[in-house]
Amino acid sequence: MKNFSVETAQAAVFDKYGAFFAFSNNQFNEQKKEGVIYEGLASGMVAPVGADIFKELEKIQQEKIAFELANNSLKIIIWDSLANYECQITSNCDDAVEALEQYGINREMIAKEWPAYFQHCVENDYF
């Protein structure tokens, strides 16, 4: 599957706003800049107060979706998500369905691919 480099784009946004991840006071103190007031945003992300990071991160997510839809077939995108969530092990594709909603891919489209994907997993012992 041809993927969009989310990590590179996100790193540029973090650099632009002076954001970083800190999971302890020690990590925070090592990375903070003197005189800057920080706020915790989510999942350990810290940024200067007022940094509008989430708008740009959402834009990156939309660019990723557009790139993947333009460069991969629906089958490849669906199979990639089914594999990512190990749906063949759980026999449940709900996580893949939820993840693919933002791609405009619905449960019915995934259900059409499921038998072939599951058979592929059986034949290749992906359990």
Tokens 């992906």, located at residue: 126
> What is the structure's pLDDT at 107?
98
- The residue type of 53 is I
Query: Which residue ranges in the chain fall short of pLDDT 50?
Result: none
35 DSSP assignment: T
Q: Which helix (H) or strand (E) holds 9?
A: helix 6-17
What is the chain's Cα-based Rg? 19
Q: What is the model's pLDDT at position 120?
A: 97
Residue 13: predicted pLDDT: 97
Q: How far is CA 72 from CA 18, 52, 63, 64, 77, in A?
A: 34, 31, 14, 12, 7
